Amino acid sequence: MEDPDLIRDQTLRQIAAAASPDALEQIRVAVLGRRGRLTEQMKDLATLASGERKARGAALNAARDAISQAIEDRKRALDAAQLERRLAAERLDVTLPARPEPQGRIHPISQTLDECIAIFANMGFRVAEGPDIEDDFHNFTALNFPPEHPARLMHDTFFFPPRPDGTRMLLRTHTSPVQVRTMMSQRPPIRVVVPGRTYRCDSDMTHTPMFHQIEGLVIDRTTHMGHLKGCLIEFVKSFFEIDAVPVRFRPSFFPFTEPSAEVDIGCSRAGGELRIGAGAEWLEILGCGMVHPNVLKNCGIDPEEHQGFAWGMGVERIAMLKYGIPDLRTFYESDLRWLRHYGFAALDIPSLAGGLAR
């Protein structure tokens, strides 16, 4: 017969030294299991006389309770320590910036359009959009292109095969048809910018069959050519982030505006490097004018009551100027090295307050 206190003391020491829940379980089985050291002592109780059995039974029960309690306490401590270690190992500082940076880049065209939209939105313009596949009415007729007028030919239009009624849909040659759609669906005052893709059957150093424009339209009762100039000069300064860009309005012709102008900005090509804002050369960036009364009429707006201005700008051209991209065709080659070099970080969203491009 073993002394219950001895069993208890020895077991408590083992429990205190147990380094893992597994080791603890082994101790429990060895002492309290079916063939455990203490269990065996309990079995022998039956052979004792009743007085002795009672005293020894109580001592054995006390030893068992003490051991069970110690195992439970030790287990809790070991579990807590294990959790602590895991938490420490898996510790993560969620306030750190994302690293490595996301791999994708924003294409310079998307970036440039977002910058233009940010500037015009700040002046109170809304974004309007229209379909890439247009009909003759919206792309030409409503915009005051007479039938057989040479300006239609100048647009190098991609036509779809004729429909049963003989008419042909086309890929819009400019964003101007969205002017028509906007005026036919909204009442003045109107103030919209129209970013989008445009198409012409033309491909060389300075032309791609698909390119982008951003169109603007203002219609109300009082807007005049002075407002047009102020608006576009302000845009050029904001976009190029140079206060002293020379801007020149040169008389021109478009069927849908009267008077019409083209806008050039001053630049220099000294040393083979194109620089904006200084030097003796001019670069055309957009066409504009006062909306022609016929266009207003075609769209159901009375030109005796309403007037306004419009412009259309080539997005690739201003992107090349601002970001020093020398070759137009590289925009659409999807060369990853080019995209990494000229692309923009996805989280740098252009805004006038936060900066247009970083």
Residues that bind ligand DAH (CB under 6 A): 174, 176, 215, 254, 257, 287-289, 310-312
* Residue 114 beta carbon to ligand DAH: minimum distance, rounded to whole angstroms: 21
Comparing CB distances to ligand DAH, the nearer of 311 and 331 is 311
| Residue 46: how many other CB atoms lie within 10 Å | 7
Comparing CB distances to ligand DAH, the nearer of 74 and 174 is 174
**Dihedral over alpha carbons 275, 276, 278, 283 (to 10 degrees):** 100
Comparing CB distances to ligand DAH, the nearer of 291 and 321 is 291
With CA atoms as reference, report the closest residue to 195 among 309, 115, 262: 115
* Residue 287 beta carbon to ligand DAH: minimum distance, rounded to whole angstroms: 3
Angle value at C-alpha 307, between 313 and 152, nearest 5 degrees: 45
Comparing CB distances to ligand DAH, the nearer of 232 and 321 is 232
Give the end-to-end CA distance of the chain in Å, rounded to a whole number.
85
The residue sitting closest to ligand DAH, measured at its beta carbon, is 312
**Cα separations in angstroms, 266 against 223, 230, 234, 316, 322:** 27, 17, 15, 18, 13
* Residue 318 beta carbon to ligand DAH: minimum distance, rounded to whole angstroms: 13
* Residue 274 beta carbon to ligand DAH: minimum distance, rounded to whole angstroms: 22
Comparing CB distances to ligand DAH, the nearer of 311 and 344 is 311
| Residue 138: how many other CB atoms lie within 10 Å | 20
Note if the bond before 21 is cis, omega within 30 degrees.
no
* Residue 311 beta carbon to ligand DAH: minimum distance, rounded to whole angstroms: 5
